[in-house]
């Protein structure tokens, strides 16, 4: 940032642009991941799209191409270290670099604690938590070498307050919030920013069935100060802020995008 001889800045508004940034988004085939991938392309980025379903990724890629940016479809099961490693290497070979990683992929099996099976525990843990750590390691190696990088992980309000949507999911989201802090601590010296976003409800395939239930929606609105469900662009904005130069001094934080829900008391 340019300073004059009086220590004053010639410009006080950093850029929110992501022009020519290379961004990896996991879970980019649907919902929040698709929205963030397209929104970051609108901000000027080229995006590598990871998920298991190729057709979904190709649809996201089509939106990005229509924005005049590059999209690279990489069908990847992010619970597999081998598939992660191959895809990360492919992105670096193709684009020459990675600037930002968005850990978005996740799933839930909504059940009461006494009903949770070992297999369900493992599936939720592997998909939401272990995958994010593994891909953060693989991309983090690259960020350390280039002495720059940003990681944005999609956690949840479920990682901070108690919800009725499942204890295992909540545990993974709480762990992601804490992983964000420790990675920010360890990797700050390499100029790597690590942050999370904690959404409340947004309309996606993951929540579609719930948000069709008027009574359930009323329960959500009763604990949401802004009294409405969020719209996906309202989640993309905070993600672009953290990814851009405007967020360069933010690290280790979780930005809750929740209509005020997290602070709801009585
Ligand atoms: N929607 C909401 O209200 C909220 C969502 N969140 C979080 O936001 C994130 C996205 O949620 P949302 O968009 O709603 O979910 P969706 O189910 O709509 O999308 C999930 C995405 O993750 C991908 N995915 C799932 N498992 C894997 C895997 N093993 N490997 C690679 N990709 C995978 C899916 O693609 P595929 O199946 O093809 O692999 C899909 O693209 C999740 O982490 C969720 O916990 C947090 C708070 C609220
Ligand atoms: C807000 C939560 O992250 C969200 O709510 C649901 O029902 C989904 O399964 C997620 O847990």
- Read off the pLDDT of residues 168-217 as tens digits, 9 standing for 90 and up: 999 999 999 999 999 999 999 999 999 999 999 999 999 999 999 999 99
pLDDT confidence band for 3 (50 / 70 / 90): confident
Q: What is the DSSP letter of 48?
A: E
Quick: pLDDT tens for 177-189.
Answer: 999 999 999 999 9
The answer for residues whose C-beta is within 8 angstroms of residue 120's C-beta and 6 or more apart is 109, 111, 168
Quick: pLDDT tens for 21-57.
Answer: 999 999 999 999 999 999 999 999 999 999 999 999 9
Name the residue at shortest CA distance from atom 7 of ligand 2: 165
Helices vs. strands in the chain: H and E counts, helices first: 9, 7
What residue ranges line ligand 2, CB within 6 angstroms? Answer: 108, 110, 156-158, 165, 169, 200-201, 206-207, 210
Rounded to the nearest angstrom, the distance between the alpha carbon of 165 and the centre of ligand 2 is 6
The mean pLDDT of 118-132, rounded to a whole number, is 98
Strands of the sheet with 149-154, listed across from one edge: 71-75, 46-51, 22-26, 100-103, 149-154, 192-199, 254-257
Q: Which of 169, 201, 216, 249 is catalytic?
A: 169
| Site of tokens 């990681």 | 151
169 is catalytic: yes
**Closest approach atom of ligand 1 to CA 108:** 45
Substitution site in 109, 120, 155, 158 for ligand 2 pocket (most atoms within 8 Å of beta carbon): 158
Q: Return the CATH number of the domain spanning residue range 16-259.
A: 3.40.50.720
Q: What is the DSSP letter of 156?
A: -
Q: Which ligand is nearest to the CA of 158?
A: 2
H or E, element range at 184: helix 167-187
Inter-helix orientation angle 131-146/81-95, to 10°: 30
128 pLDDT more than 90: yes
Ramachandran quadrant class, 13 (left: phi over 0; alpha: psi -120 to 50; beta: rest): beta
Q: How far is CA 241 from the centre of its chain?
A: 12
The answer, yes or no, to whether any atom of ligand 1 lies below 6 A from the CB of 201, is yes
Inter-helix orientation angle 31-42/54-66, to 10°: 20
Rounded to the nearest angstrom, the distance between the alpha carbon of 206 and the centre of ligand 1 is 7
Domain range list for the chain: 16-259
Strand partners, 194: 151
Q: Are 86 and 105 in contact (CB under 8 A)?
A: no
**Closest approach atom of ligand 2 to CA 170:** 11
The answer, yes or no, to whether any atom of ligand 1 lies below 6 A from the CB of 53, is yes
Name the residue at shortest CA distance from atom 4 of ligand 2: 201
Q: Which ligand is nearest to the CA of 202?
A: 1
């Amino acid at each position: 940032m340019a300073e004059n001889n009086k220590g004053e800045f010639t410009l006080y508004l950093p850029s929110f642009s992501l022009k020519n940034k290379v961004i990896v988004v996991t879970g980019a085939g649907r919902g929040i991941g698709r929205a963030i991938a397209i929104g970051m392309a609108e901000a000027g980025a080229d995006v590598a799209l990871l998920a298991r379903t190729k057709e979904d990724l190709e649809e996201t890629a089509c939106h990005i191409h229509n924005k005049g940016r590059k999209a690279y479809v990489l069908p990847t099961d992010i619970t597999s270290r081998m598939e992660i490693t191959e895809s990360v290497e492919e992105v670096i070979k193709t684009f020459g670099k990675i600037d930002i990683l968005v850990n978005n992929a996740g799933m839930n099996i909504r059940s009461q604690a006494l009903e949770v099976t070992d297999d369900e525990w493992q599936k939720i843990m592997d998909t939401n938590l272990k995958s994010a750590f593994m891909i953060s390691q693989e991309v983090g190696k690259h960020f350390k070498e280039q002495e720059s990088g940003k990681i944005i992980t999609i956690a949840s309000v479920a990682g901070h307050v108690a919800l009725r949507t499942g204890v295992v999911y909540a545990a993974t989201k709480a762990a992601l919030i804490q992983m964000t802090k420790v990675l920010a601590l360890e990797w700050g010296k390499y100029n790597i920013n690590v942050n999370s976003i904690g959404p409340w409800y947004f309309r996606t395939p993951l929540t579609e069935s719930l948000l069709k239930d008027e009574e359930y929606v009323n329960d959500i609105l009763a604990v949401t100060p802004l009294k409405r469900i969020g719209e996906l662009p309202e989640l993309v904005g905070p993600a672009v802020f953290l990814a851009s130069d405007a967020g360069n001094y933010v690290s280790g934080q979780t930005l809750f995008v929740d209509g005020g829900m997290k602070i709801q008391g009585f």
